Amino acid sequence: MKKILAILPKKRQTILFSATQTEKTIDLIKLSFRSKPIFINVDANSTTSTADHIEQGFVVVDQAQKFILLFSFLKRNKTKKNCCIFFYL
């Protein structure tokens, strides 16, 4: 992780998404962020887990198909402002 962070631009926005707050997550935060991070939590009183306007989806594919699926998804959505993609290995 330190090697990856070393080659990133000094001027950047760092965003970390985590479903859990473990010791390893806290260590990663300390390593990644230059200033004190802002924590945003899900509203415990909400009936949904995300904002109403957020589009979510998932695809289950074989390991060999992941790159081509990612490439084609990014190509089709290149005009979108924001996108988060998670891979489960």
Residue 26: inside a domain, yes or no?
Answer: yes
What tokens does 9 get? Answer: 């631009």
> What is the tally of structural domains in the chain?
1
What tokens does 29 get? Answer: 């935060």
Q: Is the Cβ–Cβ distance between 14 and 32 less than 8 Å?
A: yes
pLDDT value of residue 6: 79
> The whole model's pTM is what?
0.43
Residue 47: inside a domain, yes or no?
Answer: no
* pLDDT by 10-residue block (mean), the chain, 89 residues: 77 74 77 76 70 80 90 85 74
Residue 68: inside a domain, yes or no?
Answer: no
pLDDT value of residue 12: 78
SS3 of 65, please? helix
pLDDT value of residue 20: 67
Domain that residue 12 falls in: 1-41
Residue 78: inside a domain, yes or no?
Answer: no
Residue 77: inside a domain, yes or no?
Answer: no
Residue 74: inside a domain, yes or no?
Answer: no
